[in-house]
Amino acid sequence: MTRRDRVTTRVLSVAMATVATIVAGVTTPSAAQSQTPAGGVASRTAWGQPDLQGVWDFRTITPMERPEALADQEFLSAEDVADLEQGIADRDARLAARPAQRTVATNSVDRGVDGAPGSYNQFWMDRGTRVIGTRRTSLVVDPPNGRIPPMTSAGEQRRAAEREYVRDHPADSWADRSIYERCILGFNSGPPIEPRAYNNHMQVFQTPDHVVIFNEMVHDARIVPLVPRDPLPDHLRQWMGDSRGRWEGDTLVIETSNLDRLNSFTWRQGATQDMQLVERFTRVDDGTLLYEFTVEDPATWTRPWSVEVPMTRSSDQVWEFACHEGNYGMDGILSGHRADERAASESR
């Protein structure tokens, strides 16, 4: 089953045109500019920068953290890879062949019983079927154990308090629901970008002075200036933060601060709005874009930690992600919770 089977067939022409006009001069390079030299070396733009443009696929079954059972095993063997990928293929075939079941309320649309999705069915899932090309056992590369470092005591207390609040106030208002459930940000777009359940594609546009990182999920477009610009004042927060880019050799480095506390990554990981993010984009060859990020938040983790995600060039396009159009999903969540409250009150 292809990605085209998983998404609506309406092409994102209008939205793509909007993004293209946000920064004057954002264009796809001509065939002469974007050709790859012999040997598969990545091409450069007409103005001499490494050409990062195109659609990039970051699906993978490699987990963010190294499974505890693998202990000090940093890389998988070829046999391990074959077993894992065959296991995923078998699992997908088994889930696709399951008899139809009535949808029931669950804590997650993505997780159900027996390895199946929750309220969604297997048709919508698109995590990929392969491990990353390096065969690492985790996307986390630092610390060396492939695990996200422990939280500080303050971080643990803050996260416990937030979980307790969510448990007791699941839907007092829309503000109690996650930012991606409200269709404001995609749950894989961050920043930083993370492989997750579906729509693991993003597109890069370049001009000499700007880079646009356009995520398929919820169509998040991050416009990153490459020219000196004063940072935002500390009190001004943005969903995707305040990003500034620069070139270090052939690597695009983007530093981001002023993230909103409800950014999809910071909220899920339990970080504070003071988290600092450094991302690196390196065109390894014509078909590979190495994406790396490091996060640092002394109020949350005992040390910084880093991730590597090799992205694969895709011949596909970025497709429409409608989320729940008109926010009907949120209306249902809130009205359903009000009904539960009335039922509980009447039963007393």
Domain-embedded: residue 129: no
Can you give the pLDDT at residue 290? 97
**Is the pLDDT confidence value at 20 over 50?**
no
Contact at 8 Å (CB) between 4 and 312?
no
Can you give the pLDDT at residue 36? 43
Domain-embedded: residue 215: yes
**Average pLDDT estimate for 222-250:** 93
**Residues 45-65, buried b or exposed e (16+ Cβ, 10 A)?**
beeebbbbbbbbbbbbbbeee
**Average pLDDT estimate for 294-322:** 95
**Residues 261-272, buried b or exposed e (16+ Cβ, 10 A)?**
ebbbbbbebbbe
Look up the CATH number of the domain holding residue 258: 2.40.128.20
Can you give the pLDDT at residue 7? 40
Strand partners, 142: 306
Can you give the pLDDT at residue 110? 55
Domain-embedded: residue 158: yes
Domain-embedded: residue 194: yes
Q: Which domain holds residue 318?
A: 3-29+41-60+145-346
**Average pLDDT estimate for 132-141:** 96
Q: Name the percent of the chain lying above pLDDT 70.
A: 81
**Is the pLDDT confidence value at 161 over 90?**
yes
Lowest-pLDDT choice from 9-13, 192-196, 202-206, 217-221:
9-13
Residue of 304 and 40 predicted with greater confidence: 304
Can you give the pLDDT at residue 180? 84
Q: Where are the alpha helices (DSSP H) in the chain?
A: 13-22, 31-34, 78-96, 153-168, 264-269, 328-346
Domain-embedded: residue 299: yes
Write the CB contacts of 22 (distance below 8 Å, at least 6 apart in sequence): 212, 221, 223
Amino acid at 34: S
Calculate the alpha carbon distances from 64 to 111, 146, 282 in Å: 17, 8, 20
Strand partners, 309: 291
Domain-embedded: residue 111: no
Distance between CA atoms of 230 and 244, rounded to whole angstroms?
9
pTM of the model: 0.83
* DSSP assignment string, 69-132: GGTT--B--HHHHHHHHHHHHHHHHHHHTSPP------S-SS--GGG--SSS-GGG----S---
Domain-embedded: residue 160: yes
**Is the pLDDT confidence value at 24 over 60?**
no
Which of 25-29, 34-38, 321-325 has maximum average pLDDT? 321-325
**Average pLDDT estimate for 26-44:** 48
Q: Name the percent of the chain lying above pLDDT 90.
A: 60
Count of domains forming the chain: 1
Domain-embedded: residue 178: yes
**Is the pLDDT confidence value at 326 over 90?**
no
**Is the pLDDT confidence value at 8 over 60?**
no
Lowest-pLDDT choice from 26-35, 108-117, 307-316:
26-35
**Would you tell me how many other CB atoms lie within 10 Å of the CB of residue 74?**
15
**Average pLDDT estimate for 138-142:** 98
